[in-house]
């Protein structure tokens, strides 16, 4: 049985909202904060019998002041810096010995900065970006890649378990974010190849369902193929992980590659392809909308 913990959850977007709900259902006391107050109010109204264990806070520090664990899931480096270290930031109210788990996808440098700031206040820190998208968050099936000390991981793992399929301690602070960069680079490359394959099959007049059946059972199989082939062939992109967010993540990956003196030409190319899709109104479309950059055959 899960031991009840006082948890502050900062950020109730398409990922954070379901994750916070899993924590409440697991028996934890959850204090939530969201920059858009109405979203937080709606989240609370949607809770069932676990609502008695939930409360709203109007600032991050108010959410954190009663918490043993603070969990954040916001947008980018600037957002996490604001809710943790800005005016009324959570860190100012966290108790010595508390734990901060950040699920935001940030730069590795931001993770290292947060780690140092936490250490200065006697707070443990784990950078723990996630993969699995909105469906993974809703179904409690996220893959979580973590950076931080072994002791912090021992504490963090059971807290994250209600919404996780896999939790891996990759290395020291920043390693989780770097692993997430590798994750996004892999996704971008796969979607680039998948987009071209779909246009080839369409141009040749192949039965698209049978083509998927033929190739998905072999070495070409991937999560993207299994979950996006049908929607890509039907021009459906109003769901999933937005191109705006993918470009943010790929930007972090390219910056880190440059910092390490490495080349990432495929990632850079796909990033520019995504910029093309953004420019024609696809910024909020799922990342699989990459296929729309490629014209269909006239034959």
Asked if residues 70 and 64 have their Cβ atoms less than 8 Å apart, the reply is yes
- Residue 3 is predicted with a pLDDT of 83
pLDDT score, position 297: 85
Alpha helix segments (H runs only) across the chain: 16-25, 37-45, 60-64, 77-85, 108-120, 133-139, 150-160, 175-203, 208-215, 223-233, 243-259, 265-277
**Residue 1: band (very low, low, confident or very high) from pLDDT cuts 50, 70, 90:** very low
**Residue among 29, 21, 61, 65 at smallest CA distance from 45:** 21
> What residue ranges of the chain are covered by domains with CATH 3.40.50.720?
6-172
pLDDT band at 2, cuts 50/70/90? low
Catalytic pick from 116, 165, 180, 296? Answer: 180
Has residue 231 got a pLDDT over 60?
yes
Tell me: pLDDT of 240 over 90. no
Structure tokens at 292: 């729309």
Could you say which of 3.40.50.300, 3.40.50.1980, 1.10.1040.10, 3.40.50.1220 is the CATH number of the domain covering 179-293?
1.10.1040.10
Q: Specify the pLDDT at position 88.
A: 97
pLDDT-derived band at 299, boundaries 50, 70, 90: low
Q: Where in the chain is CATH 1.10.1040.10?
A: 179-293
- Active site (annotated) includes residue 180: yes
Q: List, for residues 168-226, the tens digit of each pLDDT value.
A: 999 999 999 999 999 999 999 999 999 999 999 999 999 999 999 999 999 999 999 99
Class of domain 6-172: alpha beta
How many Å apart are CA 120 and CA 56, to the nearest integer?
28
Instruction: Give the model confidence (pLDDT) of 40-64 as tens digits.
Output: 999 999 999 999 999 999 999 999 9
Q: Which two tokens stand for residue 214?
A: 């033929």
């Amino acid at each position: 049985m899960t031991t009840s913990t006082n948890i502050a959850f900062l950020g109730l977007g398409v990922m954070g909202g379901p994750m916070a709900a899993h924590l409440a259902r697991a028996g934890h006391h959850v204090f939530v904060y969201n920059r858009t107050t109405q979203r937080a109010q709606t989240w609370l109204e949607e809770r069932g019998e676990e609502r008695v264990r939930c409360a709203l806070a109007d600032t991050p520090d108010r959410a954190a002041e009663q918490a043993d664990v603070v969990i954040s899931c916001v947008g980018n480096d600037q957002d996490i810096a604001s809710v943790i270290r800005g005016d009324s930031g959570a860190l100012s109210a966290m108790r010595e010995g508390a734990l901060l788990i950040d699920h935001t996808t940030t730069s590795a440098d931001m993770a290292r900065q947060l780690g140092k700031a936490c250490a200065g206040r006697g707070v443990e820190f784990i950078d723990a970006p996630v993969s699995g998208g909105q469906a993974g968050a809703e179904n409690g099936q996220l893959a979580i890649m973590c950076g931080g000390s072994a002791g912090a991981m021992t504490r963090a793992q059971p807290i994250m378990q209600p919404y996780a399929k896999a939790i891996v301690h990759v290395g020291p602070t920043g390693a989780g974010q770097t692993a997430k960069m590798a994750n996004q680079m892999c996704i971008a490359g796969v979607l680039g190849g998948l987009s071209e394959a779909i246009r080839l099959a369409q141009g040749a007049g192949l039965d698209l369902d049978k083509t998927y059946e033929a190739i998905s059972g072999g070495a070409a199989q991937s999560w993207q193929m299994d979950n996006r082939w049908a929607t890509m062939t039907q021009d459906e992109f109003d769901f999933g992980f937005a191109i705006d967010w993918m470009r943010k993540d790929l930007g972090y990956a390219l910056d880190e590659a440059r910092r390490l003196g490495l080349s990432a030409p495929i990632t850079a190319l796909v990033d520019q392809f995504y910029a093309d899709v953004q420019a024609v109104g696809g910024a909020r479309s799922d990342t699989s909308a990459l296929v729309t950059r490629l014209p269909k055959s006239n034959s």
